[in-house]
C-alpha cells in the first residue's frame, strides 16, 4: 500500500487532483481545506459534510499528521522556542516572537544546514535532509495548538534551521499554502524568505515571492564574507548584487538586506561606506542585526555605539535601516542560534499533557 498523503503539504490544485483520484468532485478539496485551516479539523471524522464512506477513504489514503512538540522554552522577553519531532524521529526548532500586535513565527526548512556559515549554530550540525512542504506548514499548526502566542500568527519568516532556497520546492510550496486563500491566509507582504545567496535559485523565484526575498549579506568584501560564509566562493557579492538588480521586482517593493554585525570584523565605517556603494540602485531596506555570541562562538558582539554610528551613516545616505534586536537569546532562539539538540541541557523532561 502506498504511503498516505499529508494534505497539509498539498497546494489546492494538487488537493483537487487527489480528490479526483478518489472518484470525488474537485470542489471537495476546497471544503477539506476550509475544515483544515479555518475550522481547525484534526481528524477526518470532524468533516461531517463528507459521507461516512468518504471519511473512511480519506483515513485510508490520507493523513493530517502534525509534528510532536517535545520541548518548549520561553524567554524573559516572551519569545517561545519549540522543539518539534518529525515522523522519522528527526527534530527541528521553530520560534514564536511577540512584538506588540505583530506575532512572528520563524520556520525551519531543513534538518540542519549545508551552507556552513560560521556564525550560525545550525551549520555546526550539517545537513540531514530537506523538510517536506507539510513539515514546514505544520510548524504553524503545531505552534497554534501548543498555545503559541495565544493569538494568530501575523508574520512568517523563513529564517529557522536550514537554507530555504536549498530546499527550493519545499519552500515555494509552503509559501503558497501559507499565503493562499485556501490555506492560512497570511499576506504575502508579511512573509520573509531569507537566503545566504544562492543566486541561481534567487533567479528562479516566482515574481510574487520577490518582495519577500531577504539576502543575508553580512559583509562588504568577498574576503571577509568567505571567512564567515563559504557560499561566497560560489556566489561572490558582485553576482548577488547584480542578481538583485536584474530580478523583476514589482514597483515600490524592496528587498531586505540582512547584515549581522560582528564586532571588529564587518562593523567598521569603511564597511558602512562600502555597503552604501554596493546597494546603490537596489531597492532595499537594511536590517542590522547585532551578533549574539553563544558558547562555541568565534565571534564577538559589536559595540552598541558602533552599531548606532553604522546605522546613522546609512540613514544619512537615505537608506532605510533598522536595528533588529534579536529576541530569545537566553534560550538560544535568537538569529543564528537554532540547533535541534538537547545534550547541552540534559535529557528532556516530557511535556505535561494538556486537559
Please give the positions annotated as active site. Answer: 93, 335
Among 327, 335, 338, smallest CA distance to 98 is for 327
- C-alpha count within 13 angstroms, C-beta hemisphere, residue 355: 0
CB 107 within 8 A of CB 158: yes
The long-range contacts involving 335-338, CB below 8 angstroms and separated by at least 24 positions, are 335/159, 335/260, 335/289, 335/292, 336/117, 336/119, 336/120, 336/121, 336/122, 336/260, 336/291, 336/292, 337/121, 337/292, 337/294, 338/81, 338/93, 338/95, 338/106, 338/108, 338/121, 338/122, 338/160, 338/161
Grid cell listed for 312: 546613522
From residue 310, alpha-carbon distances to 12, 221, 321, 323 in Å are 46, 16, 10, 10
Residues 6 or more apart whose CB falls under 8 angstroms from that of 72 comprise 80, 81, 82, 83, 146, 351
List, as one string, the DSSP characters of 256-300.
EEEEEE-TTTT-SHHHHHHHHHHTTT--EEEEEEE----TT-S--
Among 156, 143, 169, 155, smallest CA distance to 72 is for 143
Amino acid at each position: 500500500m502506498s504511503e498516505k498523503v499529508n494534505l497539509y503539504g498539498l497546494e489546492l490544485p494538487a488537493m483537487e487532483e487527489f480528490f479526483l483520484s478518489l472518484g470525488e468532485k474537485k470542489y471537495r478539496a476546497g471544503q477539506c481545506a476550509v475544515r483544515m485551516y479555518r475550522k481547525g479539523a484534526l481528524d477526518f471524522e470532524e468533516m461531517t459534510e463528507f459521507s461516512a464512506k468518504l471519511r473512511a477513504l480519506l483515513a485510508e489514503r490520507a493523513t493530517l499528521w502534525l509534528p510532536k512538540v517535545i520541548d518548549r522554552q520561553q524567554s524573559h522577553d516572551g519569545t517561545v522556542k519549540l522543539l518539534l519531532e518529525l515522523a522519522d524521529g528527526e527534530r527541528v526548532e521553530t520560534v514564536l516572537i511577540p512584538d506588540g500586535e505583530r506575532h512572528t513565527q520563524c520556520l525551519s526548512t531543513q534538518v540542519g544546514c549545508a551552507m556552513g556559515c560560521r556564525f550560525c549554530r545550525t551549520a555546526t550540525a550539517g545537513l540531514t535532509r530537506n523538510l517536506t512542504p507539510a513539515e514546514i506548514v505544520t510548524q504553524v499548526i503545531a505552534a497554534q495548538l501548543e498555545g503559541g502566542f495565544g493569538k494568530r500568527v501575523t508574520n512568517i519568516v523563513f529564517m529557522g534551521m536550514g537554507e530555504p532556497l536549498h530546499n527550493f520546492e519545499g519552500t515555494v510550496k509552503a509559501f503558497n499554502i501559507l499565503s493562499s486563500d485556501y490555506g492560512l491566509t497570511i499576506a504575502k507582504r508579511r512573509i520573509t524568505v531569507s537566503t545566504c545567496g544562492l543566486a541561481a535559485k534567487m533567479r528562479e523565484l516566482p515574481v510574487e515571492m520577490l518582495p519577500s526575498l531577504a539576502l543575508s549579506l553580512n559583509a562588504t568584501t568577498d574576503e571577509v564574507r568567505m571567512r564567515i560564509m563559504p557560499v561566497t566562493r560560489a556566489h561572490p557579492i558582485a553576482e548577488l548584487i547584480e542578481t538583485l538588480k536584474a530580478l523583476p521586482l514589482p514597483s515600490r517593493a524592496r528587498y531586505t538586506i540582512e547584515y549581522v554585525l560582528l564586532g571588529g570584523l564587518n562593523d567598521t565605517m569603511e564597511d558602512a561606506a562600502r555597503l552604501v556603494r554596493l546597494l546603490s540602485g537596489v531597492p532595499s531596506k537594511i536590517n542590522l542585526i547585532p551578533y549574539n555570541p553563544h558558547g562555541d562562538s568565534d565571534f564577538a558582539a559589536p559595540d552598541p555605539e558602533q552599531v548606532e554610528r553604522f546605522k546613522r551613516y546609512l540613514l544619512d545616505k537615505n537608506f532605510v535601516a533598522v536595528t533588529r534586536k534579536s529576541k530569545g537569546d537566553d534560550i538560544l532562539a535568537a538569529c543564528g542560534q537554532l540547533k535541534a539538540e538537547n545534550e547541552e541541557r540534559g535529557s528532556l523532561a516530557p511535556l505535561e499533557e494538556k486537559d
